[in-house]
Amino acid sequence: MTADELDELDSYADDLLDYRADLIAENETALGAEEGERIAWGQMLEDGVISPTVQKMWVAQDGACPVCEELDGQIVALDELFQAEDDEYDAPPEPHVYCRCSTTLVNEGEE
């Protein structure tokens, strides 16, 4: 292997590491946001700001993966897990990294 080839290999490895770091950082950020939201919802429920009939709904983004497509529009209680065919999920981005889905509050008992 020549020195040039070694350099090339080296920068390829660097790129991969950068990519991996970005991926982890982005996913951690998304996880943190969802966690914050869940804590906030729990607090709102406790304080009576939102009624106990309020539930959460999975909102998939355009081009979501099949798992997220399946979960799209599913509504469960705040302390329940979303049910997919093969697994159950607390909130995005659990199904996969780079998941762009979100959850939102819905209150079907209220007109």
Please give the residue ranges that form the binding site for Zn ion (CB under 5 A).
64, 68, 99, 101
Indicate the residue among 44 and 100 with the shorter CB distance to Zn ion: 100
Q: How far is the CB of 102 from Zn ion (least distance, A)?
A: 9
Count how many Cα atoms sit within 13 Å of the Cα of residue 25 in the half-sphere of its side chain. 6
Here the tokens at position 41 are 């919802």
Count how many Cα atoms sit within 13 Å of the Cα of residue 57 in the half-sphere of its side chain. 12
Indicate the residue among 45 and 57 with the shorter CB distance to Zn ion: 57
Q: How far is the CB of 67 from Zn ion (least distance, A)?
A: 7
Q: How far is the CB of 92 from Zn ion (least distance, A)?
A: 5
Indicate the residue among 34 and 54 with the shorter CB distance to Zn ion: 34
Classify each residue of 62-73 as buried b or exposed e, where b means 16 or more C-beta atoms within 10 Å of its C-beta. Answer: eebbebbebbee
